[in-house]
Chains A and B, each alone.
Chain A
Amino acid sequence: MTELLSIVIAKLNYWACIALMMIGLYAMIAKKNLVKKIIGMNILQTAVILFFISIGAKKDATLPIIVHGHAAESHAARAAEYINPLPHVLMLTAIVVAVATLGVALALVIKIYQQYQTLEEDEILTRLQNE
């Protein structure tokens, strides 16, 4: 029992991210409304971002900002004291790119709405066939 519990505690973060990713993927596949699909895509992106941040965590370590970096006595930073900065860098840019791609996606949705007066996928398909 305690063995199982220790496995759950060690992996809980990853599983939460996977659950979020499943929600997003389900919305992208099953929902008919395009805006809901975009929301699903954003949930999926958030899941990936949280997953990367989880990977960067380290026990007994602090933020990747060196304390008293410019102090007179130079003390070298030890890698065990600071969490992994690399996932943070990657996700920092990924967040901004997610916002920009969200903007493009919404622009496409506005265009589709202007053309077909609906955002439901099946209605758009019937209107395409009727033309």
Chain B
Amino acid sequence: MKTLAIFIVLLFGGLLIYCTLDFPPWGDPLAPASMHVSPRYIEQTMEETSVPNIVTAVLADYRGYDTMFEAVVIFTAAVACFFLLRVFGRIESESRMYRHIPSGITLRISKDAEPLRESREFERIDLTWVPYGVVVKTSCRIIVPFCQLFALYVIAHGHHSPGGGFQGGVILGASVILFAISNNMRLSFTRISEKLAVLLCGLGVLIYAGTGALSIFLGSNYLDYGALSRLFGVDPVTARSLGILMVEIGVGITVMAVIITLYYNLASAGRHDEGL
């Protein structure tokens, strides 16, 4: 098996290396890939959309359909993960365990008794001994808000600097994952519940598709943001820029919610307990 695999891989790689001999040299300005559609993007983007970041303009405007269905793909991935893993109605164990945080004592309460309210003093745990990481919790509590602020900056400033909905959404999702890792997942469910995360997945796609539909209602083609000029009261070129911003916000919400949903389901194998 291994020799066969090496043979296949070497054959395939050799063929590809043979093909690269016909490629233009790396960084050649006259390469065919740079000659056809990209000069038009570079020269016309500023006039047509007034967005300096060409990548954002191409992503959300020129190739708007591509990005919309990309958002649908990751939405589908989150839903698929949910349906594969999520288990409802799990069997409660005989007793629940709580930690008294100031003293570090673990309490065991039988499942028939009234459950303890979680507070600053009591924390529910799943194993008898889970280390209580003061340093990790405190430093992550400081990092998370700045992470989220930076993510909002990346989304909002995606027109003028590297950034946009995908990148900002990933940072937002990562900040929530950081919160869930540094504390436990039950606490992060109180901040962003599973239901909210799945709803946000759909909401982002809805914002994107809704922006497209809005331009139909305003008498233009689907995803042709120039039609939004009447709604915003600006000239069509600026309206394109604003339309791109709306779409990027939708993408950011979807990406964030998808990453959170994937993490919630994968980290606890669908049981949604303490997690990692």
Contacts and interface: CB of A to CB of B under 8 A. Distances in A.
Contacts of B70: 93, 96-97
Contact of A60 (B20, B29, B54): B29
A21 to B, nearest CB: 7
B67 A65 contact: no
Contact of A64 (B53, B80, B269): B53
A78 to B, nearest CB: 7
A127 interface: no
Which secondary structure characterizes the binding site on chain A?
helix
Contacts of B54: 64-66, 82, 85
A70 B160 CA distance: 10
B55 A18 contact: no
Contact of B266 (A70, A80, A110): A110
Contact of A101 (B77, B255, B259): B77
A30 B25 contact: no
B16 interface: yes
Interface of A: 7, 9-15, 18-19, 21-22, 25-26, 29-30, 54-61, 63-67, 69-70, 74, 76-89, 92-93, 95-97, 99-101, 103-104, 106-108, 110-111, 114
Interface of B: 1-2, 4-6, 8-10, 12-13, 16-17, 20-21, 23, 25-29, 31, 33-34, 37-39, 41-43, 45-46, 50-55, 58-59, 63, 66-67, 70, 73-74, 77-78, 80-81, 84-85, 160-162, 164, 166-167, 170, 255, 258-259, 262, 265-266, 269-270
24 contacts: A10-B25, A10-B26, A13-B26, A14-B20, A14-B23, A15-B17, A18-B16, A19-B13, A26-B9, A30-B1, A56-B33, A58-B28, A58-B29, A58-B31, A64-B55, A65-B52, A79-B42, A82-B54, A85-B58, A87-B33, A88-B55, A93-B166, A97-B77, A104-B80
